[in-house]
Amino acid sequence: MQTAEITRRFLAHFAASGHTVVPSAPLPAVNDPNLLFVNAGMVQFVPYFLGQVTPPYARATSVQKCLRTPDIDEVGRTSRHGTFFQMTGNFSFGDYFKAQAIPMAWDLLTQPVAAGGFGLDPDRLWVTVYLEDDEAADIWNRTVGVPVERIVRRGMADNFWSMGIPGPCGPSSEIYVDRGPDYGREGGPAVDEDRYLELWNLVFMQYERGPGEGKEGYPILGDLPARNIDTGMGLERVAAYLQGVDNLYEIDEVRPILTRAAELTGKRYGAHSGHAATSSHPDDVRLRVIADHVRTALMLVSDGVTPSNEGRGYVLRRILRRAIRAVRLSGFEDPALPELLPVARDAMAGSYPEVAQRFERIADVTYAEEETFRSTLKQGATILDTALSDTRREGGVQLAAREAFLLHDTYGFPIDLTLEIAAEQGLTVDEPGFRALMAEQRRRTRADAQARKTGHADRAVFRGVLDQHGPTDWLAYTTLETDSSVLALVREGQPTAYAGVGDLITVVLDRTPFYAESGGQEADAGVLTASDVAAEVVDVQRLFGRLVVHQVRVLDGDLHVGQAVHAAVDAEWRLGARQAHSGTHVLHAALRQVLGPTALQSGSYNRPGYLRLDFGWRGALAPETRGEVEDVANLAVRADLHVTAEVMPLVRAKEIGALALFGEAYGEDVRVVEIGGEWSRELCGGTHVEGSAQIGPLAVVGESSVGAGLRRIEAHVGVEAFRYLARERDLVHRLAGLFHARPDEVGDRVEATVAQLRQAEKEVAALRANLLATRAGAATPTDVDGTAYLGLRAPEGTSTAEVRALAQRLRDQLAPERPGVVAVTASSQGRGSLVVAVNAAARAGGVAADDLVRRVLAGKGGGGPDLAQGGGVPGDRVADLLTAVEHQLAS
């Protein structure tokens, strides 16, 4: 049974029993400060379980895309570990509990295939329950009919579930299938979890947990507002069992990638073991890494993640580079992703059609990252060769841990390659020291993560306000002013009754006209006033999706809880923000019109008068293309296209082609903003103008790269665009005056002047080089242990390029049959540099220019054996460098 068919049957089974089918949330966990990625099927429903948001349905079912990376280094070493996986689940929000959840799961697993089930043999199924959960054990035995001997009671570490952070939790019951004696020992899940494969975990979500490490070291804070059901059936595990294969690497959505990787590398999966799934041979491990990571990268980029050096982007970069490294170590040197990603796309498109629709962008991002990493490998190999040479020259046999860690952490050079290359040169690596440095880095990372994990606790006071007073009456779309009441004041996470002049305080109002920062749009500015109070609003945020909180600075008087205030948005600020946000939509539509539909927005920021938009594209925009985009946008402004905003079901929004921002999570109902109807139709919660003419002129002021396959375009709108263009006009008129030319002639005059200056610079450089050579010609080499050594100091201000050319010229003038070394120094602006050139006879005798430079400059500098350079020394030490080179030759 194919994976897509398993998904279809699962959703149909629960839809038939009244569950709402909910689409998977994107992999980035955008609504939870504790998580980088969704790591469980219930993550998107956490606010419902906690009672923070009223669920729009009493029961739901979904197939959720998940990602777990804590065990990333174990991927491939076993057949059980993977990064991307899919969790099918059914959920009840106070509607039903154990008595209904347990039979529904059993029925789907055991119903015949012809009847829509999975057709599992009931006699091969085992279940586990929490040690103290007599109710679940009784339902399994008396209602479902599972014999007592196949019901196993286990402790909190095995059968009590949470996300690993503060939040909802509860006892669980797991369903296992016995795969037979070929897979291990008899005796049930407590004896052997390889033979007894876990398929489904039914969590009876009824408690809220606090902070704590491990699966048992946390307190239970109390009951949730309702008793809920959260189940998770591992799709890959069920697919493996139903498809008669051993593990997730051999199912229909993964095996084609592994097979293609084997073809590229010339390896045969399982060739070194009678059982490929249990093989730990490096070839099999690498093939599993490639298959898992290529699929994971496909899904991450599809959901809007791009490679970077932090956060989610770093995880993607690491996954991609591990895959590329594994391909290289398997013997395939050419770019591999163009061969592997299309296979992953075809394998996953049956379940996720969007990976095919978005593939052009996915390919741009990932192929560019591979090119970057291949360059990194070349650079890292050069640095490593230098470090290994230094180690050998100093009589060492082991590369220091700090060198290996620097290569890994700064240059992205994998430790496996460091070990391999060092071994080829007869050296070892201080691997324990490297692991210790990595452990220290992980410790710091965990400390940063722990700081994020306090998110729920830090907001507890605001949750109390929400529970007591209900959601904020948010009126930002309809008015700029409201008469409001102060519900709460919060200082440094603690409630307070008063705030005085100079205090920076968080204020919760019963109603507000202020727009809370969201969707790239900055929060409104404005004031809170009363008869004897004035406070400046400096920031506005939304918590739990329903509570708006204002950070204010008290300017006059005292604020206190229960006080009546007048809340007023700065009208000019709001107008500028509306112009910028609508301008972002117009610019996005213009980009897509000029570049094509793959130029999709992946992020934006707008404030009054200014906007920036990140979009998927490979390569800089040509000036004429940039100009065309600006023209299309301004034509849309001139046309005064009608702007509308309508709330509708997400399904309807997708049907009419509304664009959604990559990586964002959306609810059942969404707000669709249109500019000129279908010309620009996007999901957006921001504030907008009524007609595009209100945006004013739009002036593109910059376009740059912000990552592989990702560009950023910046623009001014409205009055700020007028001011920018006025500054450009004034500059042109100033240049016209200097050149005594008309404004339209300035460009040609500047080009001609620049060309003349460059020609003059070349002539001056040639004259300086001839003068230097003439002066140097009078110098005679010194004999240093049979080597002709010529050391010279160039005049102040001589460029490094000129020094390098002089060194090469003088070296070539030395007698070729005799070893010769030339060293030239120069100083400029208080800093000195050194260039060393070595002829062929000296190189044959073991003298290398790069070696000399590094020894003289304490490891700094670079180049090759024939020519090398370095710098950064104080200018008053330049003369000492020549003597130092001579001493090195004599030693």
pLDDT value, residue 450: 44
**Residue 581 marked in a binding site:** yes
Residue 257 CA from chain centroid, whole number: 23
- Beta-carbon count within 10 A of 854 CB: 21
Decide if domain 3-250 falls under CATH 2.60.120.10.
no
**What is the pLDDT averaged over residues 467-473?**
91
Q: Does residue 617 register a pLDDT over 90?
A: no
136 contacts 98 by C-beta, under 8 angstroms: yes
Q: Which residue has the higher pLDDT, 492 or 516?
A: 516
Of 98, 87, 81, the residue nearest 172 (C-alpha) = 98
Q: Which residue has the higher pLDDT, 598 or 849?
A: 849
pLDDT digits (tens, 9 = 90+) for 42-60: 888 888 887 777 888 999 9
22 contacts 60 by C-beta, under 8 angstroms: yes
Q: Does residue 72 register a pLDDT over 80?
A: no
pLDDT digits (tens, 9 = 90+) for 632-670: 999 999 999 999 999 998 888 888 888 877 555 566 788
pLDDT value, residue 890: 85
pLDDT digits (tens, 9 = 90+) for 661-676: 755 556 678 899 999 9
Both tokens of residue 881?
């460098």
d(CA 163, CA 312): 19
Which band of pLDDT confidence, cut at 50, 70 and 90, is reported for residue 4?
A: very high
Q: Mean of the per-residue pLDDT values for the chain?
A: 87
pLDDT value, residue 679: 93
Q: Does residue 274 register a pLDDT over 80?
A: no
Q: Which CATH class for the 459-569 domain?
A: mainly beta
CATH ID of 780-890, from 3.30.1360.120, 1.25.40.10, 3.20.10.10, 3.10.310.40: 3.10.310.40
**What is the pLDDT averaged over residues 253-264?**
94
pLDDT value, residue 689: 96
pLDDT digits (tens, 9 = 90+) for 577-597: 999 999 999 999 999 999 888
Q: Does residue 480 register a pLDDT over 90?
A: yes
* Superfamily of domain 574-727, CATH level 4: Threonyl-trna Synthetase; Chain A, domain 2 (3.30.980.10)
pLDDT digits (tens, 9 = 90+) for 298-333: 999 998 888 877 778 888 988 998 899 889 888 898
pLDDT value, residue 13: 95
Mean pLDDT is highest, among 141-150, 403-412, 699-708, 744-753, for: 141-150
**Residue 684 marked in a binding site:** yes
Mean pLDDT is highest, among 24-38, 93-107, 615-629, for: 93-107
Q: Does residue 431 register a pLDDT over 50?
A: yes
pTM equals: 0.61
pLDDT value, residue 347: 95
881 contacts 832 by C-beta, under 8 angstroms: yes
Return the residue matching tokens 């279908």. 678
**Residue 469 marked in a binding site:** no
Of 871, 791, 886, 793, the residue nearest 832 (C-alpha) = 871
pLDDT digits (tens, 9 = 90+) for 788-823: 999 888 877 777 778 888 888 888 888 889 999 999
- Percent above pLDDT 70 for the chain: 94
- Beta-carbon count within 10 A of 709 CB: 23
- Residue 548, beta-bridge partner list: 542
**What is the pLDDT averaged over residues 384-410?**
84
**What is the pLDDT averaged over residues 127-142?**
94
Which band of pLDDT confidence, cut at 50, 70 and 90, is reported for residue 457?
A: very low
Domain extent listing, the chain: 3-250, 255-452, 459-569, 574-727, 780-890
**Residue 585 marked in a binding site:** yes
pLDDT value, residue 446: 53
First to last CA, the chain: 75
pLDDT digits (tens, 9 = 90+) for 863-887: 888 999 887 778 777 878 888 889 8
Q: Does residue 276 register a pLDDT over 60?
A: no
